[in-house]
Structure 1
Amino acid sequence: MSGTSDVRLTLYAQELVREQEISARVNAPKGLSLWGLFQHRRMTRRALLSLTGDQLRDIGLSYEQARCEGLKPFWRE
């Protein structure tokens, strides 16, 4: 393999890692506008606040963690 190909593979691998990091930060459906993302956050955070203790245990969150995330404003990540 030539040096150019090695560099290209390294850059491509870094690109894939960056895309995975971005998708991990934004857990929303693809193709949403900014306002769509805000609406998605608002709805999911409101739903999180309505979960029971058993449901929170099922997803591995404490009441305090759910409350902290659920009370964040929709414009904050």
Structure 2
Amino acid sequence: MNGLSDVRLTLASEELQGAARSGRLNGEGRAAATLGERWRLFRRRLSTRRALLELSAEQLKDVGLSAEQARREALRPFWKL
């Protein structure tokens, strides 16, 4: 598994943990989000993806990403996981 996959898994697990803590999980284990909750999730994805662009080469190396991988992830639309 490459570093980019690890970052995605970490972000997805954090989203699921947050949904579980707030009691928003349905029987299939997926968050049943209201419109407001979805927008908060979208904003979080957008801000974390933009933060990737601000990481130094050393920080990217620490999380196991190349500059190109970070750029590709940062340019993904906020609605895609």
* Structure 1 length-normalised TM: 0.61
Question: Which fold has the larger relative contact order, with Cα–Cα distance below 8 Å and residues 6 or more apart in sequence?
Answer: 2
Partner residue of 1:74 out of 75, 78, 81 = 78
* Alignment gaps of 5+ in structure 2: 1-8, 20-32
% identity of equivalent residues: 48
Q: How many residues align?
A: 54
Deviations 1:41-71 (A, max 9, x none): 0110010111010110011101111011011
Larger radius of gyration: 1
Question: Over the residues paired in the alignment, what is the CA RMSD in angstroms?
Answer: 1.9
Deviations 1:3-53 (A, max 9, x none): xxxxxxxxxxxxxxxxxxxxx472436147111110110110010111010
* Structure 2 length-normalised TM: 0.58
* Alignment gaps of 5+ in structure 1: 1-23
